[in-house]
Structure 1
Amino acid sequence: MRKTVLAAALAAVATVASFALPASAAEMKPGTYEIVTRGNNGPLTVTTTLGKHSIENVVVGDNYETDYIALQPMKDVAAKIVADQTLSVDTVSGATRSTTALLRAVGEAVEKAGGDTADFTKDTTPIDPNTLPLSTVETDVVVVGAGGTGMAAAARAAELGAKVVVLEKMGLIGGSSALSGGAIAAAGSKAQARAGIEDSPEAFAQLWLDDQKSSVPGGEDGYPEVERVKALAAESAATVDWLEETVGLRFAKPRPFGFGGPERAHAPAASPVPASGRGSTAGGGAYVISALKKYTDARGVPVRTNTAAYELVTNAAGDVTGVRAHDGKNRYEFKAKAVVLATGGFARNVEMLVERAPQWVTFTDWTASAKGSTGDGLRMALDAGAAEAKDSWMIGLYLVPKYPILASTYTSKDKYKDRVFVNERGERFVDESRPYVTDPAAMQGQVWAIVDGSDPKKTEILKRYLTYDVVVHGETWSELGRRMALTNPSALQKTMDTYNADCEKGRDSVFGKDPAYMKPFTTGPFFAVRVLPGTGGTIGGVVTNERFQVLRPDGSVIKGLYAGGEMANRPFYNRVYTSGTGLAVAYTSGRIAGENAAREQ
């Protein structure tokens, strides 16, 4: 365990607030309380100083959190707890688990002191917008959502001379796109040409469609829509060229994505290059958002943060003529020729997941989606008569451990291609060399990553986390199987004997894995790391045409209404993701929707 700069930085964060709870609140025993809780990367120590009715100080001590990611968010949350005397503080996207752990530790300290956490919880009764003062605003285009799709739509519409307003319910812009690595898949771009990379939209579309053949079974017939995939791939280069030449974003030399393949990953030049030389670095998407914000600022586009859209305005014919929104103090009716819904998906809305993708509900805590991905746009569109796409699914990305540092123990330069994963029966369930294994993993009862003792550094990390549902180990496969509590502990011995023998033969007799990735696991001790499916958002939304106009169930266009990104990404997938295409869909659909919205009559 280490003492990070977090402790020093947070030590002076909190001072006694200028107010305290009423005397009727449960009285606490004044003093200092040290709580050790589970953080994002390991044990997290939080020391809380309490008065009879107040939280006087919050200090983070020993921990395994990542300084550059968790420092400022934890500092802000600690300060707000003390300043407002409340535990009803929003966690921070990108440091959700670290800030949640901080809140949990302070709550435990309150209870330990004899207090009641309910005394430090604000009333969260929803605001009725109809009770707020009304203002009317006239504009040409309203974009709902300031993530990648929304900012691209706003930029393109403003470029064409439209008067644009952007509404964002969160306090910050960027959404899931800002949290992503920022690498956009595209083929035939000028960036590729400069680097001497020969590529074509046709080759991109073919790889995309080939990837979809590895979808888990049970999906709706007709997905992906081949012509929509081809059209999107054909527009991908125009999107990155536009971002570079018009918006002003500079791209690095295109490179392969993390799983390998063609050099189609267009990542921001300002974002650090991963050690593997592939893909992108977490948070690189913020550079794309920053460039779009700078561009829209220069064109006078207002972005109203903390302003939640809640209803589309329609006329007698069912055309969309605007949107209603509020900021908690005032409500607004924006009258416009067109509205672009760019609110993202519903990965953070458990009720919607239960209705649309119940297989994934238990994994909602393991999503990279922004906190605001709660399906607001989908709800508004359906209320306005839109048709919803069939067979919603999730964007399965990676297999994530309970503590992020453990991912390095079962991830190689080839990601998972030379790894082995087993289920609760101790059996392999997938060809690990395929680009994404997350979807089949979500269909299992449990999933474990197998690691042997051949790498001392990995062994050292694993031994620090030996816990029944995190990491278990054994000197033999049979012993490991028992500690994994498999339904048939002896099955693991058979699975690994078969796999190791197949590695010697150079042929995977079970799933036909590429022989280049058949590497044996023979050095004890042996470890199993419990992993869960990590997601990047949802696949679904409303039905749109190639102009990204929203359609009714009868196929007719809802005049004045457009949607893009996760609000309209169902045509592009079956039940598996293709690297980089999420951002390709986001920025391309946003650009096209914004262009057509600006030209709406």
Structure 2
Amino acid sequence: MKRSYWVRSLLCTVLVLVSVFSLIGCTAKPEEVSSPGEPDESSELVATEKMTADVVVIGAGGAGSSAAVTAAEAGAEVILLDKNAQPGGTTAMGGGLFGADSALMKERGEKPVDTDALFQDWMKEMVWKADANLVRKYLDLSHTTVDWLLDRGFDLEKVDPVQQTHTTYHGYHKYNNNSPSETVGYFKKMLAGFEEQGGQVLYETPAKGLIMDSEGAVLGVLAEKKDGTTIEISAKSVIIATGGFVADEAWVAETLDGVFVASAGLLSNTGDGIKMAWDAGAAKRGEDVHLLHVTKVPGDLSSFEDTAWLANTSLAYLPITPWVNASGVRFANEDLIYDRALTTNAVVAQGNFIYTILSQAMVDTLEEKGAAAVGMNENVAMGPIAEVAPMNSPWTNLNAMLEELINQDVVFKGDSFEELAENAGMDPGKLASTMAKYNADAKAGKDAIFGKRKEHMVALEEGPYYAVKVIPTNLCTLGGIRVNEDLQVVKNDPNNYEPIPNLYAAGADAGGLYSSHYVLLEGGAQGWAYNSGRLAGASAVANALGKEIDLFEK
């Protein structure tokens, strides 16, 4: 059987007997090659090292590490690749995961989450455009995965929901630390056990392409070491878990109708695995789903090192200020701020940015006393940050920081709403009308348009006024490759989504868990990373060794 090598990369750099070309989907031909289409004869990549494994996993984040460990514990010879110098990926940047049951829940006297009810709510929220079998398997396996992680070196604590709107299902398990670097340490512990079982981890060794035969079956992976050495890894199963494409902001914008969203995820997450799968003929799914997760005020406040966060972060988390779009029209109930995903979705729906409007009196009170003195009656929490917008402590340097941001065209100021609109590029008539209605509703104690709680309807009386630009950010993307219920990557044929032999995907690369948006479940994406990794690892072992693994056996 002849082989062809499909490689998707920006620069295929090999120093030994290699011709280098920066082509998307370049085809490597070390010997006589048979491949579909008409490949460019000049695009060649020659392997200089050869390795073999039962399973190769591309990506050492939550999904990839879980897949590798699952496969190794089942007796497979496993090689785990990552382009970074350490494991964890985007998963290590999160606060915790959803688990339906755990020893920690039992210690607190909590009953397991009703995953039958959660399944129905999930599918209803996704209007049944999600893959029901994937959702079901994820939720069923989530009864065991927290304990599985605890047994492999993770330190977790069961906590009440951090975001106030996520109270229906109480399965949030927080990493017992306040630093992503400590979570990386958990991954290192788990992978130390993986290596003791014979698994190999190759850091700073990005995959460059999939090895395929003339029939379209995946036979392994081409990777490149830090020193430029190319490795040809022959494998019976390959799992793609490269963390999505959040760092490719232009690609993200294409999937969001052109709206620019700043990446808050890993700079290394550029969609490598998704591109490889597509080059291999995989179907697409969920490319437009994102974990739009945090809003912020842009601008450089490095000269205010100790207090910059009060302007860059806290100002974006005030439910007591009205939000308006670039035209000057209010568009949402600002109490959405108690759910980061809802907030960021609402901002993205308006375009590249929105404005939060404050009066000088509000700014002065925040600087002197904190948000409670302005009228905010409930704290906003975010992950390890217990109080995002300080309630009863001064927002030191706020006036000075706003003046600095005015110089950067991030904040605009005006003595009247009309002047404020002129300076910020809004429609003066629309902003004046918006604020007249908002102030009238605030004085009446009722938000007649969007229903914000009356306590947070604070009138903006005398000027001057500030318009503070707020932008959306994206923690990670949530799809791209279509998989079936066994995490097998399937061919791009809607008449029959037949699996591509020997190829699997998990985590943020695998689409199907959502419709067009992230689920309203705290820790949902993190839980999917670990659970989908375990599922993919089990499927890959069944394919490679003919050995079935029952992850659901208690």
TM-score strictly above 0.5: yes
| 1:165 pairs with 2:70 | no
Q: Report the alpha carbon displacement of residue 226 of structure 1 after superposing the two structures with TM.
A: 4.6
Residue 439 (structure 1) aligns with: 345
Aligned runs of 1:563-574 on 2, under 5 Å? 563-574=505-516
> What is the letter of the counterpart of residue 78 of structure 2?
V
Q: Report the alpha carbon displacement of residue 493 of structure 1 after superposing the two structures with TM.
A: 3.1
d(CA) in 2 for partners of 1:138, 1:177? 28
Aligned runs of 1:392-411 on 2, under 5 Å? 392-403=288-299, 408-409=310-311
Residue 407 (structure 2) aligns with: 467
Q: Report the alpha carbon displacement of residue 395 of structure 1 after superposing the two structures with TM.
A: 2.0
| 1:384 pairs with 2:280 | yes
d(CA) in 1 for partners of 2:144, 2:510? 20
Select the structure with the greater relative contact order (CA < 8 A; seq sep ≥ 6).
2
Residue in structure 1 matching 2:223, options 298, 308, 325 = 325
Q: Report the alpha carbon displacement of residue 407 of structure 1 after superposing the two structures with TM.
A: 5.7
Aligned runs of 1:444-459 on 2, under 5 Å? 444-445=350-351, 446-451=353-358, 452-453=362-363, 454-456=365-367, 457-458=394-395, 459=398
| 1:300 pairs with 2:216 | no
Q: Report the alpha carbon displacement of residue 440 of structure 1 after superposing the two structures with TM.
A: 3.1
SS at match of 2:166: strand
Residue-by-residue CA offset, 1:226-285 (whole Å, 9 max, x unaligned): 55334423322322121113x12121232313344334331122x13xxxxxxxx66664
CA contact (8 A) 2:286 2:515 kept: no
Aligned runs of 1:462-501 on 2, under 5 Å? 462-467=402-407, 469-486=409-426, 488-501=427-440
Aligned runs of 1:57-456 on 2, under 5 Å? 130=44, 132=46, 134-178=48-92, 180-198=93-111, 199-205=113-119, 208=122, 212=125, 223-245=129-151, 247-262=152-167, 263-269=170-176, 271-272=177-178, 285-327=183-225, 328-349=227-248, 352-353=251-252, 356-360=255-259, 362-363=260-261, 366-389=262-285, 392-403=288-299, 408-409=310-311, 415=317, 417-434=319-336, 435=339, 436-445=342-351, 446-451=353-358, 452-453=362-363, 454-456=365-367
d(CA) in 1 for partners of 2:525, 2:343? 17
SS at match of 1:240: helix
Q: Report the alpha carbon displacement of residue 316 of structure 1 after superposing the two structures with TM.
A: 4.3
Change (3 A) 1:499 1:350: closer
Structure 1: which 5+ runs fail to align?
1-123, 214-220, 273-280
Residue-by-residue CA offset, 1:36-85 (whole Å, 9 max, x unaligned): xxxxxxxxxxxxxxxxxxxxxxxxxxxxxxxxxxxxxxxxxxxxxxxxxx
d(CA) in 1 for partners of 2:173, 2:317? 20
Change (3 A) 1:440 1:140: same
d(CA) in 2 for partners of 1:539, 1:335? 29
d(CA) in 2 for partners of 1:140, 1:264? 35
d(CA) in 1 for partners of 2:350, 2:67? 39
Change (3 A) 1:166 1:421: same
SS at match of 1:507: coil
TM-score (norm 2): 0.74
Q: Percent identical across equivalent pairs?
A: 29
CA contact (8 A) 2:323 2:357 kept: yes
d(CA) in 1 for partners of 2:185, 2:58? 21
CA contact (8 A) 2:297 2:316 kept: no
d(CA) in 2 for partners of 1:431, 1:226? 32
Change (3 A) 1:353 1:157: same
d(CA) in 1 for partners of 2:461, 2:189? 50
CA contact (8 A) 2:296 2:316 kept: no
**How many residue pairs are counted as aligned between the two chains?**
455
d(CA) in 1 for partners of 2:51, 2:432? 68
CA RMSD in angstroms, aligned pairs only: 3.1
CA contact (8 A) 1:357 1:394 kept: no
d(CA) in 2 for partners of 1:512, 1:410? 27
Residue-by-residue CA offset, 1:312-338 (whole Å, 9 max, x unaligned): 123344322211222253222211121
Change (3 A) 1:572 1:437: same
d(CA) in 2 for partners of 1:516, 1:448? 21
Q: Report the alpha carbon displacement of residue 417 of structure 1 after superposing the two structures with TM.
A: 4.6
Aligned runs of 1:525-564 on 2, under 5 Å? 525-552=464-491, 553=493, 554-564=496-506
Residue 49 (structure 1) aligns with: none
d(CA) in 1 for partners of 2:327, 2:476? 29
Q: Report the alpha carbon displacement of residue 296 of structure 1 after superposing the two structures with TM.
A: 2.1
Change (3 A) 1:325 1:244: same
